[in-house]
Amino acid sequence: MQIKGDNKRQNLRVPYPKSCRPILVIDQYQYEIIDISEFGVRFLCGTEQPALAPGTDIDAVLTLHDTKPFNVHGRLIRISERFSSAIMALTEKIPIEILLQEQRSIKKLFPGFLEE
């Protein structure tokens, strides 16, 4: 993995195009996923879902493109009202194999998207 500029993340991060974002379900409410990494999920949160608060422990179901839905657990660490998004830090990592498969799927469906 190549690290460019000020982006010094050690983990693979998979961003999603707006038209094919996977879903995170928290308490029967659906949230569109903006991006995922081994230890985190960034998702949209709008006015149609209940308010979330940083520090809240969350049990959720993650449905990605090429996997069956699976349970994740974490803590909400940040909410950005400006971008209507939230970040959940996971207690158990998403296997790298799943992230690489998601990345391959996006590259196949949206050539050039991940190179932007």
In a domain, 102, yes or no: yes
The position carrying tokens 């949209």 is 44
Beta strands (DSSP E) in the chain are 13-15, 23-26, 29-37, 40-44, 57-63, 70-80, 85-90
In a domain, 37, yes or no: yes
In a domain, 93, yes or no: yes
What are the helix (H) ranges across the chain? 96-109
In a domain, 27, yes or no: yes
pTM: 0.85
Task: For residue 40, give the 3-state DSSP assignment.
Answer: strand
Domain count, the chain: 1
In a domain, 83, yes or no: yes
In a domain, 13, yes or no: no
In a domain, 9, yes or no: no
List the domain range (segments joined by +) for residue 59.
Answer: 19-115
Q: Which CATH number does the domain housing residue 72 bear?
A: 2.40.10.220
Write out the chain's pLDDT in tens, 116 residues: 443 444 445 678 999 999 999 999 999 999 999 999 999 999 999 877 788 889 999 999 999 987 789 999 999 999 988 889 999 999 999 999 999 999 999 999 898 888 75
